[in-house]
Amino acid sequence: MPKLNQIIAVEKSVKSRSFQELTEAHHALQKPTLLAGISRTYRPKDEEGEQLPPESTRVQVKAEEIIQRTSQILSNLFDVTATKDWTNCEARANVVVGEQVLLKDVPVSYLLFLEKQLVDLVTFVRKLPVLDASESWSFDPGADCYATEPIQTVRTKKIPRNHVKAEATDKHPAQVEVYYEDVTVGYWRTIKFSGALPAQRVHELLGRIQKLQQAVKFAREEANGVEAKEQKVGEKIFNYLFG
């Protein structure tokens, strides 16, 4: 008795061959000259008349034979596909991550669905925003996001000052130069917040998905190793259709 994975392996080639042969049969039926035949002989009016050889064209394509051959071709395809689908109903396996049975008796069709979804999830997680590594972050429950330690910076203001270059005399006014001095007027206390994730968290999520991907593949291989439930439905169908 073949295994399900063997049936799956041959299904594609059976489909391809069936389609090719069905197409050839269809094209043959569209050529009237292949379906037509003739046989004719010539008899002169009298014994002195010209003798001509007989002419004949053989029928090369017979519709009933095409129907029978098509039935055989498609019966094989119908049987292979039925065997796969019937067996798929029985093909199940556990998804085991480490020592934990995460999912039990999962149908092979759902395992295939999981595989495709996990590929999309890997893409999703790889694009998650990551915290700026140049900053030191910790989770702030009050803000419900990550925050840096407070940093204090100085706020300054330019204050004009007078610098007397020369004192005033009875003949000349004082020579004064104006300059600006940065004077501390206050302090900024800055905390940065971010909704991004630590790189370690993203790496951990990717690791979990990859472990589950491997477990799902193992489960699918195990499920596909079940013995095929061989089905013979094609003959019944085509006996009804063309019998």
Q: State which residues form the domain around 26.
A: 1-91+226-243
Do 10 and 83 have their domain in common? yes
> What is the overall mean pLDDT for the chain?
89
Do 232 and 171 have their domain in common? no
Task: Tell me the DSSP string of 106-142.
Answer: EEHHHHHHHHHHHHHHHHHHHTS-B--TTS-EEEETT
Instruction: For residue 40, tell me if it sits in a domain.
Output: yes
- 142 or 165, which is more confident: 142
For residues 191-202, give the mean pLDDT: 95
Cβ-based burial of 237 (10 A; exposed 0-12, middle 13-18, buried ≥19): middle
Instruction: For residue 70, tell me if it sits in a domain.
Output: yes
For residues 1-5, give the mean pLDDT: 79
105: region left, alpha or beta (phi > 0 left; psi from -120 to 50 alpha): left
Do 86 and 158 have their domain in common? no
Instruction: For residue 208, tell me if it sits in a domain.
Output: no
Instruction: For residue 134, tell me if it sits in a domain.
Output: no
Do 4 and 83 have their domain in common? yes
Residue 173: what are its φ and ψ, rounded to 5°? -70, 165
Residue 170: what are its φ and ψ, rounded to 5°? -70, -10
Instruction: For residue 124, tell me if it sits in a domain.
Output: no
Question: How sure is the predictor about 219, in pLDDT bands with cuts at 50, 70 and 90?
Answer: very high
The pLDDT tens digits of the residues spanning 31-57 come to 888 778 888 888 888 887 888 888 888
The pLDDT tens digits of the residues spanning 74-100 come to 898 999 999 988 888 888 999 999 999
Residue 166: what are its φ and ψ, rounded to 5°? -150, 130
Do 73 and 159 have their domain in common? no
Q: What is the pLDDT of residue 196?
A: 96
For residues 186-193, give the mean pLDDT: 94
Question: How sure is the predictor about 11, in pLDDT bands with cuts at 50, 70 and 90?
Answer: confident
Other CB atoms within 10 Å distance of the CB of residue 128 = 13
Do 186 and 230 have their domain in common? no
Instruction: For residue 202, tell me if it sits in a domain.
Output: no
Do 8 and 77 have their domain in common? yes
Do 1 and 78 have their domain in common? yes
Instruction: For residue 199, tell me if it sits in a domain.
Output: no
Do 2 and 79 have their domain in common? yes
Q: What is the pLDDT of residue 1?
A: 67
**Residue 214, helix vs strand vs coil:** helix
Does the pLDDT value for residue 61 go beyond 90? no
Instruction: For residue 59, tell me if it sits in a domain.
Output: yes
For residues 189-210, give the mean pLDDT: 95
Total tally of structural domains belonging to the chain: 2
